[in-house]
């Protein structure tokens, strides 16, 4: 598959270039069908009208979710607190910081930012386990580092969505690199 290089995007009008359309249609059953229906309803009723946070609230209500988990980076604790305060007006919210349990980086043999001080690991498996224990309906990643977000999603029993993607250089807007001539040139595009 090289869809990013395709000029026609005929799939948008129904063309199946894969030959597995019917097989895939059969996979949308049970919870996957409910998730797809809620996403489609959100898009159909609120297209270009709601922010990501507003969409998250509407999606959660449509799905009948009661308990949300919020896994956040300590560097975005202010944003996480605001998001928590917004969400708790609609849902029961459990939040867990990336440094949960305070595990020493030395215990896992992972690199330090500064070797002359104690550093706790970011603990995405711990975050997932804490939220799994609360039996959350949906978990939200808020600014988790690349790799940590992968581990969090891998170990979360509830579905995961992301509200903020970590990008320290571009104010947590990783798509900025795709719009900047400077970064495109820096990354090898002319």
| Distance linking the first and last C-alpha atoms of the chain | 24
- Signed CA dihedral, 100, 144, 121, 155: sign only: positive
Fold of the 47-186 domain? Rossmann fold (3.40.50)
Show the tokens assigned to 132.
């799994």
Q: What distance in Å separates the CA atoms of residue 74 and residue 76, rounded to the nearest whole number?
A: 5
pLDDT in single tens digits along all 190 residues of the chain: 899 999 999 999 999 999 999 999 999 999 999 999 999 999 999 999 999 999 999 999 999 999 999 999 999 999 999 999 999 999 999 999 999 999 999 999 999 999 899 999 999 999 999 999 999 999 999 999 999 999 999 999 999 999 999 999 988 899 989 988 888 889 998 7
CA 52 to chain centre: 11
- Closest Cα partner for 163 from 45, 58, 54, 33? 54
**Three-state SS at 53:** helix
């Amino acid at each position: 598959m090289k869809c990013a290089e395709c000029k026609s995007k005929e799939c948008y009008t129904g063309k199946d270039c894969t030959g597995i359309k019917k097989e895939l249609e059969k996979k949308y059953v049970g919870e996957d069908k409910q998730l797809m229906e809620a996403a489609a309803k959100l898009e159909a009723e609120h297209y270009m009208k709601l922010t990501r946070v507003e969409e998250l609230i509407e999606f959660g209500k449509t799905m009948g979710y009661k308990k949300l988990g919020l896994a956040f980076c300590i560097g975005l604790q202010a944003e996480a607190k605001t998001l928590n305060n917004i969400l708790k007006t609609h849902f029961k919210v459990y939040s867990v910081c990336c440094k949960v349990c305070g595990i020493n980086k030395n215990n896992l043999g992972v690199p330090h930012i500064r070797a002359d001080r104690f550093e706790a690991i970011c603990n995405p498996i711990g975050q997932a386990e804490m939220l799994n224990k609360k039996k959350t309906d949906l978990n939200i990643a808020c600014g988790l580092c690349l790799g940590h977000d992968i581990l969090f999603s891998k170990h979360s029993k509830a579905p995961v969505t992301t509200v903020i993607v970590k990008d320290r250089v571009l104010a947590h807007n990783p798509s900025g690199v795709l719009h900047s001539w400077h970064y495109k040139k820096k990354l090898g595009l002319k």
